[in-house]
Amino acid sequence: MKKLLMFLALMLPALAFAGDTPKLDSGDTAWMMISTALVLLMTPAGLALFYSGMTRSKNSLNTYAMVVGAFVVAMVVWVVAGYSIAFGTNANAAMQKVFGGFANIMLNGIKWSDLSGTYPTYVFVAFQGTFAAITVAIASGSVIERIKFSTWLVIVILWSLIVYAPIAHMVWGGGLLMHEGALDFAGGTVVHMNGGLAGLVLAILVGKRANYPRIAVKPMSVMLTALGAALLWFGWYGFNAGSAFGANAIAGLALLTTTVATAVAGIAWMLIEWIVYKKPTLLGLASGIVAGLVAITPAAGFVNVAGSMIIGAVGSLVGFYGVVGLKKMFGYDDSLDAFGIHFLSGLWGALATGVLALKDKDLLWDGPLKASGDRVAQFMVQLESVGVTIAWVLIGTVVVYFIATAITGGSRVDKETEEIGLDEAVHGERSFYL
């Protein structure tokens, strides 16, 4: 009898609240914290290695520093004001379409105990901050080996606030494109088109590297680039599966489609090189992997395995053409092909989402496909989201560039610094002392 009474005493509180829906889910919270750490790994480790390995040895350390510098600065900017602009609420209905306002500056009004769904809002802030940071870091790949480090850091601050945060608001934070029903699961427009196009604009404004393309630019270490691609793939599970915002079935779908699309894209790039150049390169395989990751990002939680295969294969073809064909045709110096891979493969993924997304209301966000099964209307919404993103990035990046160069007195290093290499001339260091 005594044991029975003790059992009832322990169970009665639990039984009293059995009908209540739990507010915080420990599984979702744990997954979102892990996802945040995975996305963080993608920038100061994955992207930094991927980029610096493709750079000439005299500039590899500077390239790494530009990626890591962008990450740490953008994260602080995000907490100070970026989050408020992207996910805050604006009292002005017209402004709310593009701008979240300043109510949450320095996370004002957000308590440590507040929740976003089933996990803490602070975790959501950190998770989204890693997206903001990697987006601007992607753009660095287009202007390495000739931009001033001081100018780059000023660009990171301004661009994060003027370009990235409003686009994130429009697509994910309750703004214009989210209201229209645009589908972007984890950042095809917000991250990859955004960062890739910004890179091209900056590359054109800064100008070509000295003697480009007359001299061959040999990568310092293809092995480092391949290692960077592997770390990007690993971290991308936080990027895509984490965008399900919980340890749930949609996260499982996103994990599988990400894996399949990336593998198919790697095979596709390798085969193209084998056919065209008669040799499959490791650099090409690594590039195909990244192109596949980019292409599947906007669609990861909306498509089935067959759809992911199509997106991965075509995304690799599009990226290959951007790197090999389009750059040569127009003659721009996109140093590490941020535009060719991130923008073009991201553009394909964003549009393909409207074509290949499943008509499954448990998967889809609000939009024409979910509301009425109208795939043509959904594709037009995707087209609108692409157009708005392109226009905003083009105008915003130009404005940011001229403000930054006015502050720092120009964007380029001098000829002597470029000749010596930015590692020693700017940082007083070398990647390797042999």
pTM score, whole prediction: 0.93
The pLDDT score that the predictor gives to residue 95 is 87
Q: Is the dihedral of CA 372, 376, 380, 383 positive or negative?
A: positive
> Strand pairing of 119-120 and 115-116?
antiparallel
The pLDDT score that the predictor gives to residue 15 is 36
Burial class (CB in 10 A: 0-12, 13-18, 19+), 162: middle
Mean pLDDT of 322-339: 95
412: DSSP letter: B
Q: Is the pLDDT of residue 337 over 70?
A: yes
Q: Is the pLDDT of residue 5 over 70?
A: no
Percent of the chain with pLDDT over 70: 95
Q: Is the pLDDT of residue 9 over 60?
A: no
Q: Is the pLDDT of residue 133 over 50?
A: yes
119: DSSP letter: E
DSSP secondary structure, 297-321, as one string: TTTTTT--HHHHHHHHHHHHHHHHH
> 269 and 288 in contact (C-beta within 8 Å)?
yes
- Angle of CA points 59, 62, 64, to nearest 5°: 110
The pLDDT score that the predictor gives to residue 213 is 85
- Angle of CA points 171, 334, 72, to nearest 5°: 55
Burial class (CB in 10 A: 0-12, 13-18, 19+), 269: buried
> Tell me, what amino acid is at 145?
E
Count CB neighbours of 8 within 10 A: 10
Q: Is the pLDDT of residue 3 over 50?
A: no
Q: Is the pLDDT of residue 18 over 50?
A: no
Q: Is the pLDDT of residue 14 over 70?
A: no
Q: Give the model confidence (pLDDT) of 231-248 as tens digits.
A: 999 999 999 999 999 999
Q: Is the pLDDT of residue 40 over 70?
A: yes
Mean pLDDT of 285-289: 98
Q: Which two tokens stand for residue 39?
A: 């996305």
CA 22 to chain centroid: 32
Q: Is the pLDDT of residue 1 over 90?
A: no
Task: Identify which has the larger pLDDT, 204 or 90.
Answer: 204
Q: Is the pLDDT of residue 13 over 50?
A: no
- pLDDT confidence of 398, banded at 50, 70, 90? very high
Q: Give the model confidence (pLDDT) of 174-193 as tens digits.
A: 999 999 999 999 999 999 99
Distance between CA atoms of 264 and 289, rounded to whole angstroms?
8
Mean pLDDT of 92-103: 90
Q: Which residue has the tokens 């990235």?
A: 164
The pLDDT score that the predictor gives to residue 142 is 97
The pLDDT score that the predictor gives to residue 21 is 52
Task: Identify which has the larger pLDDT, 96 or 81.
Answer: 81
Mean pLDDT of the chain: 93
Q: Please name the residues in contact with 354: beta carbons below 8 A apart, sequence gap of 6 or more.
A: 183, 369, 375, 378, 379, 380, 381, 382, 383
Q: Please name the residues in contact with 307: beta carbons below 8 A apart, sequence gap of 6 or more.
A: 257, 299, 352, 356, 357, 358
Helix (H) or strand (E) holding 15: helix 2-16
Q: Which two tokens stand for residue 49?
A: 């290695």
Mean pLDDT of 333-347: 97
Q: Please name the residues in contact with 269: beta carbons below 8 A apart, sequence gap of 6 or more.
A: 284, 285, 287, 288, 289, 291, 316, 319, 320
> 39 and 258 in contact (C-beta within 8 Å)?
no
Residue 214, CA atoms < 13 Å, CB-side half-sphere: 3
Residue 17, CA atoms < 13 Å, CB-side half-sphere: 7
> 241 and 252 in contact (C-beta within 8 Å)?
yes
Q: Is the pLDDT of residue 216 over 80?
A: no
Distance between CA atoms of 242 and 37, rounded to whole angstroms?
10
Topology of the domain covering 27-422:
Ammonium transporter fold (1.10.3430)
